[in-house]
């Protein structure tokens, strides 16, 4: 991630990268964000009509908020209903960054940073695995990611391997109850 952040030479690209990683949002959800969906005071992002046509709230950290603020600071249209992530393509009618545009930006960042296979879902997966490794419970993670049940997280949980043993070691019920 540090290499990707250093490869960002545009405020929009940094805001996109950090929003994707900090929220775990799907690419379509990122593309559909409006300026008013991000509250830089409360560090919340409202995902409207995500998968399953459900709204949800995600959260961002201070660094992501600063990146979004910097990006918005260079724009002329920051009305609440304006697209958050703007396309630079001339043929784009509504100005909104498209899914393919996000993919192209991330691929270019990956190439510039020397990081292979950077794509939107990889950032979503990184969000999930990082949260699990940090000790977030699967129910909370499922809600943040917009999953209707925790079964969808099985692949993410399976991919963290040894981290599960370490996590158990930190909270082993028997070891905690039978301390000497």
Q: Could you give the maximum distance between any two Cα atoms of the chain, in Å?
A: 70
Q: Is 87 exposed, middle or buried (0-12, 13-18, 19+ CB in 10 A)?
A: buried
Of 70, 95, 88, give the one whose Cα is nearest residue 18: 70
Q: Among all residues, which ones are annotated catalytic?
A: 26, 51, 121, 124, 147, 156
Which long-range contacts (C-beta less than 8 Å, at least 24 apart) are formed by 106-113?
A: 106/16, 106/17, 106/20, 109/4, 109/7, 109/8, 109/13, 109/17, 110/4, 110/7, 112/7, 113/3, 113/4, 113/6, 113/7
């Amino acid at each position: 991630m540090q290499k990707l952040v250093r490869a960002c030479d545009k405020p929009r690209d940094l805001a996109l990268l950090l929003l994707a990683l900090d929220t775990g949002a799907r690419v379509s959800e990122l593309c559909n964000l409006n300026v008013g969906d991000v509250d830089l005071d409360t560090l919340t992002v409202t995902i409207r009509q995500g998968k399953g046509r459900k709204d949800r709230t995600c959260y961002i950290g201070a660094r992501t908020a600063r990146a979004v603020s910097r990006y918005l600071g260079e724009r002329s249209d920051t009305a609440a209903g304006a697209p958050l992530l703007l396309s630079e393509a001339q043929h784009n009618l509504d100005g909104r960054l498209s899914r393919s545009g996000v993919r192209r930006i991330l691929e270019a960042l990956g190439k510039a940073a020397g990081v292979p296979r950077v794509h939107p879902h990889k950032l979503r997966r990184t969000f999930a695995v990082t949260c699990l490794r940090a000790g977030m419970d699967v129910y909370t993670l499922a809600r943040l990611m917009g999953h209707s049940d925790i079964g969808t997280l099985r692949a993410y949980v399976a991919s963290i391997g040894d981290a599960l043993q370490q996590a158990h070691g930190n909270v082993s019920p028997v070891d905690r109850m039978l301390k000497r």
